[in-house]
Structure 1
Amino acid sequence: MTVFLLFFAAVTVMGFLASRWRRADDAQHLHEWGLGGRSFGTWITWFLLGGDLYTAYTFIAVPALVYGAGAAGFFAVPYTIIAYPLVFLILPRLWSVSRVHGYVTTADFVRGRYGSRGLSVAVALTGILATMPYVALQLVGIQAVLDVLGVGGSGNWFLQDLPLFLAFGVLAAYTYSSGLRAPALIAFVKDTLVYVVILVAVIYIPMRLGGYGHIFDAAAHKFTPDPVTHKAPGSLVTGPAAQWSYATLAFGSALALFMYPHSVTGVLAAKSRNTVRRNMAILPTYSLMLGLLALLGFMAIAAGVSKGDKKFNAQLAVPQLFADMFPSWFTGVAFAAIGVGALVPAAIMSIAAANLFTRNVYKEFLRPDATPADETRVAKIASLLVKVGALAFVLVMDKQAAINMQLLGGVWILQTAVALVAGLFTRWFHRWALLAGWAVGMLYGTWKAYGIASPATKHFGGSAAKIPVIGEVGYIGLTGFVLNLLVAVVLTLVLRALKAPEGADETARADYSAEAGDEAVERAPQPTLAH
């Protein structure tokens, strides 16, 4: 507990001091508070994106899925490997056009590219909707650590949740004060802690458990089908019946990864196009860490963390494994890695959602004449409201609901990919066709997910259903994406034949390849750093 609190106090101080780090002369601009002045170099961006994409809940959920279902949990490893070559082609173009025109969000780009307020607000609201339960799951990650630490688990409701309130208060305060600079600075601590803990864990814990051979034997034993019912809780190797589901989930998740507002926020904060390209080349090192992290699920099986409790919460498998295997002082370090690992992405997610609301709802529809200072003030308040909503989600609703909503968030955010990615390469698609495709994908994904039951819930119990025409079980989000794309293509042909108004495109071809130092970039609003 002492070690955990020391690290927590250290990152809190760093969070508040971050407001003075790389400070601008005029901080009352949204690109200063919400994008760190677009000034982060290669290493800061690498730490920021790593801290952003590999969340605390990843450290809890991926090994928990491996612990409960076996090989299916490893889908997270190939999907992060697939993602980076894909976005290497996409994100530098997004950075360039955003820098030239001062775009802060993906919805800003969609508005400028297609001249469509409706499509822009659809992208913005989808981003906010998909982000909210994601923030909530970061708090679930902190709560899992607090449960294993033995704090907040008894007494009246206020004392029970007091540690979570305190963590929330700290997160809200330094995010409000420092904006994106706070998680960027704290990400150095978070990523270092995570790498140290994982490397120690994959060496030290197998030594305690008798080696990897014994660990895999224990996992194989757990996943052996019952001789009477012929059922098993999972499998050590993905069987033929689950391969379509595994492959489509991995590919769909790869497409969705950088559609999330918090991912884009980290990219747009980079100071140059080459910074983005370099990061897409070196970020796969985190995928290696993720593969090692997933193995903790098998280690938890071998260690018997459930202690025979049939109702054991798999989400506690990794924290309990650390508590059982490590000396108490290093358990504190490991728990700090998870706790701090929740603060970084939660801060970036709330900032990203606030940017979307401020630029694409508040300024677009409520107050078009808002000044940069007005935008910054509203964004700060919106970021607080996002975190309050996430906290209420965790405290009022069942945690399974938060997990299900996050799964649904992945289905939703993938439906923004057609408009965004296509727009970065072509203006062929019609704005109304893209909006119709988005609506079809959203409705299909939500309807299908609603009809899936699980042992824990009647609705939204998973993200896989039978694929139309093919007949195999696959990821709902990817099926919705394909339907979205088909509708957009067909309706574009129809609307072009009818000569429907297409909307104005404020971008030019050269904007998509602009680099820092180019004339177009120099003319754009630039952050001014204090000397």
Structure 2
Amino acid sequence: MNWPALIVFIFFFALVTILGFYAARWRRADLNHLDEWGLGGRRFGTLITWFLLGGDLYTAYTFIAVPALMYGKGALGFYSVPYTIIIYPLVFVVMPRLWSVAKKHGYITIADFIRDRYDSRALALAVTFTGILATMPYIALQLVGMQAVLEAMGITGSGFKGEIPLIIAFAILALYTYTSGLRAPAVIAIVKDLMIYITVIAAVIIIPVKLGGFGHIFSAAAAVLPTHKPPGGVNLCPAAYMPYATLALGSALALFLYPHSLTGVLSSSSRDVIKRNAALLPAYSFILGIIALLGFMAIAAGINTKTPNSAVPLLFLKMFPDWFSGFAFAAIAIGALVPAAIMSIAAANLFTRNIYREYINPACTPKQESNMAKYVSLIVKVGALFFIIFLPTQYAINLQLLGGIWILQTLPAVIVGLYTSWFHRSALLIGWLIGMLSGTYMAVAQGFNSVYPLHIGSSVISAYAAIYALIINFVVAIVFTLVLRAFGVEKGRDKTSPQDYNFKSASL
């Protein structure tokens, strides 16, 4: 047991726990309304939204999964940097439209918008189901990140005993999420980001100095990666061009379809807040590029582990004093808890608003609706445990990519729907179903590796399965729209109007 690291870790974990419970009193409001509990009253300004989205999007995926992929496979793992660059211009253009129509009509979830846009409860239910399903492996990825740092400090064990510390951490998370709603991760995200900045600055200065500079780091990675099975490299081989490009593109298109990302958008106080954040958030992409290189640094430092997810924690233990390792581990753990909280809230919003209120208890009071969301936020965290129990987690990043395959199938209805209602509601539903089935099949066929080799004659084109499934989805949706229109099948009444997409709150 590494007691100095563990003591520092517990101190900062206790600090954010106190902040999580305090958040219920921050900007005090009636948390018995879902709008307040699940969206913070839609009152977050530029600074809070920046920290919230940063805490939401840059997670254990960033500190554990990306460097693990770099450590195991090399340059392919760097796809995460261009994808976070691609997405923000799209956010700048697209997401203010979503905020406007949601503010105008009081939508709390994206499925609320889908229901009114296409006059289709079935399509809204499909989007709800997809959002909840895609969120589960993403929360599970945060669990994997927590496991990695706990094991590095010597907290290990077999069976249930070994899971007790993780269960305690997530029980605490569940309690302050239940109590404070979205305000808890919004407050904690500020502390989390400051801790991560300190850790990254220390890592990018101290570790290269100890290892003899970046030249030696890249040379060591170039010598070791080709010996891995399968072999990797510091440069992409031609066969990796298509996987790299499609992973970047698919991940970019998927990122702001996730319920937790959309929750961050809808909690903003104005369209302008979203635009400012789209301009400011690329600062995190710079940090991500540095963090990704920790995988190469682990190779150069002689870290030898069969579990790539442990590469960064073991690197920190070797390069830093124990007390600072504890600080860095706390930053990683909090970086897992913040997005896990937002994800569970977002999934709870979806279930409560679009299943419970829509189908189970249409006459529910605001308090009943809010309480149901609180209960569901607890259940979602438990559900995420099943993903790390039953799915392989050697490369935790595959959990995020699996969620990406599913959530990307909502793009035709959601993103295209913000600009046109040309697609027929039934065609979108059929396209979604075919896309979900084909994408899941491709992932399962590859042992939950999200890159699928498509055989066309004698050629093999390997690419992110989400892109293949999305293409199938679009083709099916277009063909069925034309067919249904030709047969005069009723498409439903659009309850939104063009001016709703540029709406600004009267108070702004």
Provide TM-score, normalisation by structure 1: 0.91
Deviates more, 1:67-76 or 1:399-408: 399-408
* Structure 2 Cα separation of the partners of residues 14 and 323 of structure 1: 28
Q: Which residue matches 1:424?
A: 418
Q: Which residue matches 2:91?
A: 87
Q: Is the Cα–Cα contact under 8 Å of residues 133 and 402 in structure 1 kept in the other structure?
A: no
Residue 463, structure 1, aligned to residue 461, structure 2: no
- The offset of 1:206, in angstroms, is 0.4
1:212-239: CA deviation from partner (whole Å, max 9, x where unpaired): 111111001113469xxxx862011111
Q: Is the Cα–Cα contact under 8 Å of residues 78 and 289 in structure 2 kept in the other structure?
A: yes
Q: Is the Cα–Cα contact under 8 Å of residues 134 and 406 in structure 1 kept in the other structure?
A: yes
- The offset of 1:439, in angstroms, is 1.0
Seen in structure 2, the aligned counterparts of structure 1 residues 87 and 317 have a Cα distance that, compared at 3 Å, is same
1:444-487: CA deviation from partner (whole Å, max 9, x where unpaired): 111111211xxxxxx32333322768852111101111111111
* Structure 2 Cα separation of the partners of residues 2 and 373 of structure 1: 40
* Structure 1 Cα separation of the partners of residues 95 and 350 of structure 2: 18
* Structure 1 Cα separation of the partners of residues 167 and 443 of structure 2: 32
Amino acid at match of 1:237: N
Amino acid at match of 2:20: G
Residue 33, structure 1, aligned to residue 27, structure 2: no
Residue 329, structure 1, aligned to residue 323, structure 2: yes
* Structure 1 Cα separation of the partners of residues 42 and 347 of structure 2: 17
Q: Is the Cα–Cα contact under 8 Å of residues 140 and 399 in structure 2 kept in the other structure?
A: no
Seen in structure 2, the aligned counterparts of structure 1 residues 401 and 65 have a Cα distance that, compared at 3 Å, is closer
Q: Which residue matches 1:486?
A: 475
Residue 250, structure 1, aligned to residue 248, structure 2: yes
* Structure 1 Cα separation of the partners of residues 392 and 460 of structure 2: 33
Question: Within 5 A, what are the aligned runs for 1:284-299?
Answer: 284-299=282-297
- The offset of 1:240, in angstroms, is 0.9
Q: Is the Cα–Cα contact under 8 Å of residues 76 and 244 in structure 2 kept in the other structure?
A: yes
Q: Is the Cα–Cα contact under 8 Å of residues 467 and 474 in structure 1 kept in the other structure?
A: no
1:66-124: CA deviation from partner (whole Å, max 9, x where unpaired): 01111000000000100111122111000000011111111111001000011000000
Q: Which residue matches 1:161?
A: 163
Deviates more, 1:283-292 or 1:473-482: 473-482
Seen in structure 2, the aligned counterparts of structure 1 residues 169 and 257 have a Cα distance that, compared at 3 Å, is same
Q: 13, 18, 21: which one pairs with 1:16?
A: 21
* Structure 2 Cα separation of the partners of residues 461 and 245 of structure 1: 12
Q: Which residue matches 1:368?
A: 362
Q: Is the Cα–Cα contact under 8 Å of residues 407 and 463 in structure 1 kept in the other structure?
A: no
Q: Which residue matches 2:128?
A: 124
* Structure 1 Cα separation of the partners of residues 499 and 435 of structure 2: 32
- The offset of 1:406, in angstroms, is 3.7
Please state whether the residue corresponding to 1:472 is helix, strand or coil: strand
Q: Is the Cα–Cα contact under 8 Å of residues 463 and 476 in structure 1 kept in the other structure?
A: yes
Question: Within 5 A, what are the aligned runs for 1:195-274?
Answer: 195-224=197-226, 233-274=231-272
Q: Is the Cα–Cα contact under 8 Å of residues 12 and 330 in structure 2 kept in the other structure?
A: yes
* Structure 2 Cα separation of the partners of residues 127 and 324 of structure 1: 40
- The offset of 1:195, in angstroms, is 1.2
Amino acid at match of 2:163: D
- The offset of 1:505, in angstroms, is 1.1
Please state whether the residue corresponding to 1:515 is helix, strand or coil: coil
Q: Is the Cα–Cα contact under 8 Å of residues 60 and 141 in structure 1 kept in the other structure?
A: yes
Please state whether the residue corresponding to 2:293 is helix, strand or coil: helix
Seen in structure 2, the aligned counterparts of structure 1 residues 12 and 144 have a Cα distance that, compared at 3 Å, is same
- The offset of 1:405, in angstroms, is 4.6
Question: Within 5 A, what are the aligned runs for 1:302-321?
Answer: 302-306=300-304, 312-321=306-315
Q: Which residue matches 2:3?
A: none
Q: Is the Cα–Cα contact under 8 Å of residues 450 and 465 in structure 2 kept in the other structure?
A: no
Residue 502, structure 1, aligned to residue 491, structure 2: yes
Q: Is the Cα–Cα contact under 8 Å of residues 251 and 401 in structure 2 kept in the other structure?
A: no
Deviates more, 1:12-21 or 1:509-518: 509-518
Q: Which residue matches 1:359?
A: 353
* Structure 2 Cα separation of the partners of residues 411 and 390 of structure 1: 17
Matched positions, count: 502
* Structure 2 Cα separation of the partners of residues 108 and 463 of structure 1: 32
Q: 299, 302, 306: which one pairs with 1:301?
A: 299
- The offset of 1:401, in angstroms, is 9.6
- The offset of 1:142, in angstroms, is 0.7
1:112-152: CA deviation from partner (whole Å, max 9, x where unpaired): 1000011000000000001012111111111110000001x
Seen in structure 2, the aligned counterparts of structure 1 residues 147 and 361 have a Cα distance that, compared at 3 Å, is same
Seen in structure 2, the aligned counterparts of structure 1 residues 45 and 498 have a Cα distance that, compared at 3 Å, is same
Please state whether the residue corresponding to 1:223 is helix, strand or coil: helix
Identity, % of aligned positions:
59
Amino acid at match of 1:512: Y
* Structure 2 Cα separation of the partners of residues 370 and 344 of structure 1: 30
Amino acid at match of 1:39: R
Seen in structure 2, the aligned counterparts of structure 1 residues 468 and 430 have a Cα distance that, compared at 3 Å, is farther
Unmatched tracts of structure 1, length 5 or more: 453-458, 523-531
Q: 441, 445, 448: which one pairs with 2:435?
A: 441
* Structure 2 Cα separation of the partners of residues 212 and 197 of structure 1: 18
Q: Is the Cα–Cα contact under 8 Å of residues 445 and 477 in structure 1 kept in the other structure?
A: yes
Please state whether the residue corresponding to 2:303 is helix, strand or coil: coil
Unmatched tracts of structure 2, length 5 or more: 1-5
Q: Is the Cα–Cα contact under 8 Å of residues 61 and 397 in structure 2 kept in the other structure?
A: no
Q: Which residue matches 2:504?
A: 515
